[in-house]
Chains A and B, each alone.
Chain A
Amino acid sequence: MLKGLIGKKVGMTQIFDEAGAVVPVTIIEAGPCYVTQVRLPENDGYSAVQLGFDEIKPKRLTGGQLGHLKRNNLPPLRFLREFRAKDPEVSEGDKLTVGEVFSVGEAVDVIGTSKGKGFQGAVKRYHFRGGPKTHGQSDRQRAPGSRGSGTTPGRVYKGARGPGHMGSDRVTAQNLKVVLVDGERNLLGVRGAVPGAKGGLVLIRAARKQ
């Protein structure tokens, strides 16, 4: 069975485990997802499964998108994402729900888009130390300092860390423990935080590094 789902971050809360201890959890509305396409090495050069999530009105999609879904008689779906899988054991048109895919105790990776922070300085973005606060300094407290060398090479190397746009990156939170599966409401609870804002799209897959 393919270990992957698309979901939406609902938010964080805390729950009690069997021993009565408090566990911090992120609740994800995961699935139901539909298998919209199975990619095979013969046809596509690699093997993967394309899943679709979030039913919407047909008029929100273009004709091509509708046609792609129509092939397997699927409803209009807002999001399509691929999951790499050697032998997925699913076929096109299948419906996947949290209850079938994940169980309590498993480790998963959750991929999301981090919250956008805008244009940020080097102190916030890369944890630079900034300048001295005393000894007659002015306007230096959060300055990045030198970015490169001297006359040789006479330029700043590409990729040098400095101020710039921060956030809105694809971030993977690895090895999160599944603490809650609610098949009825399509809810998945993982221990700890998950990248992104509430309502953000997240991909959930079995943990890669176990």
Chain B
Amino acid sequence: MSELLKAVEAQDNPNVPELSPGDTVKVFLRIKEGNNERTQEFRGTVIRKRGGGQASNFTVRRIASNGIGVERTFLMRSPRIEKIIVERHAKVRRAQLYFLRERTGKSARLKQKFS
């Protein structure tokens, strides 16, 4: 890709740590409501990561009330991400954990990996 294009693109957000599928993370997101700015939390499991430079992103899945699954995709380089806490790594054998979508309760658990 052209060096000129790279020059105007955003750099990696330093607040985003190394993530891998299966990680349980807490994403702190800056939200603007009118003139107020507040921080919103989103806690869940990373079910996929996608490359693509400027458009690289990752998806976090969490189980909201009544057992409804909610997935949210964040851009890796988004300046809105304030920080990310990785709470737990999990032992997974694939890069995209789409099988979690069909599972609920006990079967949706992932085995913890200690590094």
What is the interface of chain A, defined by CB distance below 8 A to chain B? 10-11, 13-16, 19-20, 22, 25, 27, 29, 180, 182, 185, 187, 189, 198
| B1, B55, B80: the one within 8 Å of A11 (CB) | B1
Determine if B5 and A185 form an interchain contact, defined as CB atoms under 8 angstroms apart: no
B7 within 8 A of A: yes
| A15, A22, A25, A27: the one within 8 Å of B4 (CB) | A27
Determine if A22 and B75 form an interchain contact, defined as CB atoms under 8 angstroms apart: yes
B37 → chain A closest CB, angstroms: 10
B54 within 8 A of A: yes
B9 within 8 A of A: yes
Q: What are the residues of chain A within 8 A of B32 when measuring CB–CB?
A: 19
B96 → chain A closest CB, angstroms: 23
Determine if A10 and B2 form an interchain contact, defined as CB atoms under 8 angstroms apart: yes
Contact sample, A vs B, 5 pairs, CB 8 Å cutoff:
A13-B5, A14-B9, A15-B9, A15-B54, A27-B8
Closest to A20 in B: B80
Closest to B4 in A: A10
**Which of B4, B9, B54 lies at the interface centre, i.e. has the most chain A CB atoms within 10 A of its CB?**
B4
> Given A13-B54, A14-B55, A15-B10 in contact, is the A20-B78 Cβ separation under 8 Å?
yes
Q: What are the residues of chain A within 8 A of B2 when measuring CB–CB?
A: 10-11, 198
Q: What are the residues of chain B within 8 A of A22 when measuring CB–CB?
A: 75
> Given A13-B9, A15-B10 in contact, is the A20-B79 Cβ separation under 8 Å?
yes
What is the interface of chain B, defined by CB distance below 8 A to chain A? 1-2, 4-5, 7-10, 30, 32, 54-55, 75, 77-80
> Given A19-B32, A20-B78 in contact, is the A13-B8 Cβ separation under 8 Å?
yes
Determine if A15 and B8 form an interchain contact, defined as CB atoms under 8 angstroms apart: yes
Closest to A29 in B: B4
| B1, B4, B10: the one within 8 Å of A16 (CB) | B10
Closest to B1 in A: A11
**Which of B1, B8, B30, B78 lies at the interface centre, i.e. has the most chain A CB atoms within 10 A of its CB?**
B8
Q: What are the residues of chain B within 8 A of A15 when measuring CB–CB?
A: 8-10, 54
B76 → chain A closest CB, angstroms: 12
Closest to B6 in A: A13
Closest to A12 in B: B5
A23 to B66, CA, bound (A): 36
Q: What are the residues of chain B within 8 A of A10 when measuring CB–CB?
A: 2, 4-5
Determine if B9 and A187 form an interchain contact, defined as CB atoms under 8 angstroms apart: no
Determine if A187 and B8 form an interchain contact, defined as CB atoms under 8 angstroms apart: yes
**Which of B1, B5, B10 lies at the interface centre, i.e. has the most chain A CB atoms within 10 A of its CB?**
B5
Closest to B9 in A: A13
Determine if A182 and B8 form an interchain contact, defined as CB atoms under 8 angstroms apart: yes
Given contacts A10-B2, A14-B54, A182-B8, 18 further A-B contacts (CB under 8 A): A10-B5, A11-B5, A13-B54, A14-B9, A15-B10, A15-B54, A16-B10, A16-B77, A20-B30, A20-B80, A22-B75, A25-B8, A27-B4, A27-B5, A180-B8, A187-B7, A189-B8, A198-B2
Determine if B79 and A16 form an interchain contact, defined as CB atoms under 8 angstroms apart: yes
Q: What are the residues of chain A within 8 A of B78 when measuring CB–CB?
A: 16, 20
